[in-house]
Structure 1
Amino acid sequence: MAKVLAVLSSGYSNEEHNYVTGWWAEELFEPLSELEKAGHSVGLASIDGGKPVVDPLSLDKAYDPEGKYKKLYDSGIADKTTPVVDVRASDYDAIMIVGGHGAMFDLAHDENLHAVINVVHETDGIVSAVCHGPAPLVFTKTKDGKPLLQGLKVTGYPNDMEPEEVDGLLPFSLEDEMAKIAQYDKGDGQDEYFVWGSDRLLTGRDPGSSRAFGRELAKKLTELEEHQLDKHLD
């Protein structure tokens, strides 16, 4: 059983524009389901700890027509998170950064999160992120000072999918920042899209890719466990 750390935005609000955002429900609950189905365990963390702010739109009927994610949210699954600063990164086999516009505000430049990402990466764990979740990966640098994503194939929420109502409110363009240092690919023509930038770096494009992204992460973790078991038996 692998241990995965799911990192969520604590939330962001702009009262002047009546704008509230945070983590996106589908992007936690779909991968969580796939990981647990495969027998892996998932711990939750956020910048502030406690109950992080979910993006209210992600529980709206337009994005959750059957009320599946609202029911999971209301059950309290995501009510308790560990502050990122208190996370012992070496305890985890993988980190999964959940998207939602909130990630661009509080996760992107958080140095404690960058440190956790680096420990997982340096100890041969899997670094993964979906939708806007790659935001902190863009600004994470390795011990030698190079961008973590430098030259790697990645995906994430593209400019042409951003809703008009957030125009001018976001701190940067995720696609533009990723394209500066990595090989950004939005997977044109594919309903679900994820990509491995290396054998330990996985990114998913959008909410609709969350399930496939989670299934792929779960599959890889299972394969790594089986490989380690075979080496031990040899």
Structure 2
Amino acid sequence: MLLSEYGYWGEELLGPITAFDREGYESVFATPTGKRPRALPPSLDPGYVDPPLGRSVTTPEVAVAARELDESNRLDAPLSLSAWLPERPYDSEPDHLRRLEAYYRELGEVDADIEQYDALVIVGGSGPIVDLANNGRVHDLILAFLRADKPILAECYGIACLAFARDWEDRRSIIWGKHVTGHCKEYDYKDGTGFLGVDFNMGPPPYPLEYILRDATGPDGRYHGNVGRETSVIVDYPFVTARSTPDSFLSGEKLVDVLETGLRRYGW
């Protein structure tokens, strides 16, 4: 379960992990540099009104459970992607060819490492905009799971990682031709996009995820916003995508269905 170090949305971790705990799965957490992840404060506040929706998106029960999870010791020692995966060298670096060979050699070791895992989850919130979406190591981890034909669940702004994950040979998005959902334009903030660890209000999100997903899926795929519907979860194997906070529990359940019953398509 991959989390941002700049803040995750509480329910978007709670939903999947509740389904996994119920099945007896072991959940392993990771962050870009091994720093302990923390929930975004509004996601733990049932009184916080989501501006685009005009209502609270966090029930009192979810707020309590998400806070208990965030304050537990389960997230105390996440894996560090920077220690686990190699970084692709710049073309301008000295001895570039040897460095590139070493990079691919180390990626082969990552392929062996992930045999112990059954699925990858990218938890959403505003934090992934900062340190997950265009993180090369995140992309390489996603590609490793893809090569191993293992399912990948991405939520909310974490879905940008799928759009940007590309093999350097053809540079085409891995969701080309796929059906996905994700944070729709109607649900984007006009102001107030915030992150943990920085005193900065970005205003609106720096990119409209819906437009990126529409382009990344190409003419034979499709983005599904499902605006007005309470939930939006799409399964187009190996990908499970969840639009936003209300979809967190359903997305976890659908990933379990993928693993346990062989579900390959859902939601369109």
TM-score class, shorter: 0.7 to 0.9
Following superposition of structure 1 onto structure 2, how do residues 143-162 of structure 1 map, counting pairs within 5 Å?
Answer: 144-162=170-188
Distance, in Å, in 1 between the alignment partners of 2:204 and 2:37 is 20
Q: Which is strand-richer, 1 or 2?
A: 1
2:235 equivalent among 196, 201, 216: 196
Structure 1 residue 144, shift from structure 2 partner: 4.0
Distance 1:151 1:103 in 2: 24
Distance 1:145 1:110 in 2: 15
Kept after mapping to 2: 8 A contact 1:23/1:101: yes
Aligned-residue sequence identity (percent) comes to 28
Contact 2:182/2:209 (8 A) holds in 1:
yes
Structure 2 residue runs of 5 or longer lacking an equivalent are 48-57, 86-112, 194-201, 263-268
Deviation at 1:44, TM superposition (A): 0.4
Match of 1:7 in 2: 2
Confirm or deny: 8 A CA contact 1:130 1:156 kept in the other structure.
yes
Residues matched between the structures, number:
209
Per the TM alignment, residue 128 of structure 1 is displaced from its structure 2 partner at its CA by 1.4
Task: Select between 35-44 and 121-130 the one with higher mean Cα deviation.
Answer: 35-44
Q: 1:91 aligns with which of 86, 91, 116?
A: 116
Q: How does 1:1-234 map to 2 (within 5 A)?
A: 6-11=1-6, 22-62=7-47, 63-66=58-61, 67-85=64-82, 86=84, 88-142=113-167, 144-165=170-191, 166=193, 168-182=203-217, 183-197=222-236, 199-224=237-262
Name the CA distance, whole Å, in 1 between partners of 2:211 and 2:5.
24
The aligned residue for residue 88 of structure 2 is: none
Q: CA RMSD in A?
A: 1.9
In the alignment, is the contact (CA less than 8 A) between 1:35 and 1:217 conserved in 2?
Answer: no
Deviation of 1:104 (Å): 1.1
Q: Which runs of 5+ in 1 are unaligned?
A: 1-5, 12-21, 225-234
